Amino acid sequence: MDDRTNHLAEGPRIGIRPYTYADGPEFTTRARESRELHRPWLFPPATGEAYAAYATALVEDPAKAGFLLCERAAGGAVAGFVNINNIVDGGFRCGALGYGAFAHAAGRGLMREGLGLVVRYAFDVLELHRLEINVQPGNAASIALARRSGFRLEGFSPDFLFIDGAWRDHERWALTTEMSRRAG
Q: What is the CATH number of the domain that holds 97?
A: 3.40.630.30
73 Cβ neighbours under 8 A, 6+ residues apart: 13
End-to-end CA distance of the chain: 32
Distance CA 71, CA 65 (A): 20
| Contacts for 6 with CB less than 8 Å, ≥ 6 apart | 17
> Given 3-state DSSP classes, what are the helix, strand and coil percentages for the chain, each rounded to the nearest 5?
35, 35, 30
| Structural domain for 25, as ranges | 3-182
Rounded Cα–Cα distance for residues 25 and 38 (Å):
18
Spatial separation of the C-alpha atoms in residues 61 and 21, rounded to whole Å: 15
Find, among 102, 104, 67, 69, the residue nearest to 83 by Cα.
67
Q: How far apart are CA 87 and CA 123, in angstroms?
A: 12
pLDDT at 25: 96
pLDDT given at position 184: 59
For the chain, how many structural domains are there in total? Answer: 1
Residue 97's pLDDT is what?
Answer: 98
Sites in the chain below the pLDDT cut of 50: 1-2
Phi, psi of 103 (to 5 degrees): -55, -40
* Residues 46, 60: Cα–Cα separation, whole Å: 20
**Chain segment 131-175, per-residue pLDDT in tens:** 999 999 999 999 999 999 999 999 999 999 999 899 999 999 999
**Which parts of the chain fold into alpha helices (H)?**
24-33, 35-38, 48-60, 110-124, 140-148, 177-183
35 sits in the region (left: phi over 0; alpha: psi -120 to 50; else beta) called: alpha
Q: pTM to 2 decimals?
A: 0.92
Rounded Cα distance between 138 and 41, Å, is: 9
Question: Distance between CA 63 and CA 156 in Å, rounded?
Answer: 24
